Chain A
């Protein structure tokens, strides 16, 4: 099978996965035990209002028609109205989505930057005290739920040292104005961003660190490293240019899994730091039975994971010519 065929097959698979995910959402939110219509109704409605609302939402239709209707709505980005905000869900969720992407993107970027470097050094200095200590620290970080890391950082840097604001995304009064840079580039914003992003970075760092260390150990055993050393190249050059570079490949594949973890992590981290993102919005929506918002948030999180899985597969075959398309 050629590269082209592989890509086409992978795209088809992407479509199937998306369809299955949509269906799962439908099942979760419509076919729940009890009367599925009650969750779309508000308390204090008269019987007539109820009926009208049910008809409005199309909930009196047979299920398969509801299902088709639902699919076409999702594809056009129509998630309905929020029960609480009384606004279209899409307007609410898009802003929150951007906030989450900024937070989690920063966290993942630093997690991978630090993790890859740290893991490479651990592999390079194998058997040293640095490596043993590094493994314990990494496993500790991996064993901590995001909220626990967040609480420790809060206690130290906010409650004890008072260096950072405790919650939110910007100081009160510092309302959004201007463009992207003014919104996400101000000092005030960065001060608010620091702790939640650090929390994510600490938790997500473990996977790339351990993986990088393991692949480094494999690569370091390869003959070409010995040859490079024998050529008299400085250690640093061998480490950076030859060993580390050849160990990065597997990291690409776990990026997709990391994005999934980051979506889950955003729910917890945003709750701890009161970050106005999609994760916190989802918790709030579920608690208030604001199902359209909860569903839209879940939909976006799943979509991000599916697309990242797809990109990781493509990146892998592109980066490693030895990979066979199964």
Chain B
């Protein structure tokens, strides 16, 4: 082992080129994969809508970018009660005369926030648990994997309901309740990957030149399992959004932030489900499209992680 391979700069460069190669692989995987492309397109649209949903004021430049939503989603009586779609109200109005289209646009933000934050936190925790568990083995592994087993024995949605009911239904609490369960699958799958990497020569040689545990774990092994973590992040976004929507549908959503699930909850409590199709279907379709887009992307990423799948298509 020369000093060259051990210097931080070469390590960094290696890391960067690894990353670049990974990104290139990723885009190659999207090439010729219609579903993955559709997924990216839908997701990009939702992100755009989410960012520009409401007017944005940049104070020091003194400009305001107008929002997409034509009305304030919470303002009452911008139209009549339960009006079907018209040119003034593209998707009609609610029983309180609120504009459904504006609510739909504004709800995109909640979905994006919950999906990205919950997935990031869950995968962050899961990756670390899996990495530490597999790397150290022994009692550390035993303890961490028993905790993972316990997380697997807790039913996801009922747990989230009880948590949110007890600690209060703010968006932060909802994300925490989701993350507390969602990390489990990443932890298991990363652990099994790290177990196989631990046996490989590159880890042995790093050990031989006296690299620290932290260094081996995070600079040598982690980059190799990162693609898998990305894959699980994509699926975690989907599950988190479904969980938030279900919680809100059951009436445990954040009352201050109107989400798509909460819109459908409102239809139910207003007893308008039979007539107000314009109020029920848009948020439902939006949830389905959003989750579909991340699952499509996940399927494409799966081929990067598991090249065998490429030949199966």
Contact = CB atoms under 8 A, between A and B. Distances in A.
Interface residues of B, number: 43
B163 interface: yes
A136 B155 contact: no
B115 to A, nearest CB: 13
Contacts of B157: 263-265, 267-268
B35 A143 contact: no
A136 B292 CA distance: 9
B264 interface: yes
A121 interface: no
A286 B169 CA distance: 12
Interface in B196-252: 238, 242, 245-246, 249-252
Interface string A196-234: 000000000000000000100100000000000000000
Contacts of A142: 291, 295
B interface: dominant SS: helix
Interface stretch (B8-16, B92-100, B127-135, B144-152): B144-152
A263 B249 CA distance: 17
B77 interface: no
Contact of B242 (A24, A145, A294): A145
Nearest to A257: B152
A32 B155 contact: no
Most chain B beta carbons < 10 A, residue from A20, A145, A286, A297: A145
Contacts of B291: 142-144
A187 B295 CA distance: 39
Contacts of A265: 157
B120 interface: no
Interface in A142-162: 142-148, 151-152, 154-155, 159
A144 B158 contact: no
Interface in A117-173: 126-127, 135-136, 139-140, 142-148, 151-152, 154-155, 159
A268 B248 CA distance: 11
Nearest to A297: B158
A33 B35 contact: no
Interface string A261-273: 1011101100100
16 contacts: A13-B149, A16-B146, A17-B153, A126-B312, A139-B35, A139-B295, A144-B287, A151-B284, A152-B284, A263-B158, A265-B157, A268-B246, A286-B252, A297-B158, A298-B158, A309-B153
Interface of A: 13, 16-17, 20-21, 24, 28-29, 32-33, 126-127, 135-136, 139-140, 142-148, 151-152, 154-155, 159, 214, 217, 260-261, 263-265, 267-268, 271, 279, 282-283, 286-287, 294, 297-298, 301-302, 305-306, 309
Those 6 A-B pairs whose CB atoms lie nearest each other, nearest first = A264-B157, A143-B291, A143-B292, A263-B155, A148-B284, A306-B153
Given A151-B280, A264-B155, A298-B162, 9 more contacts: A33-B167, A142-B291, A143-B288, A151-B264, A151-B273, A283-B161, A286-B162, A298-B158, A309-B149
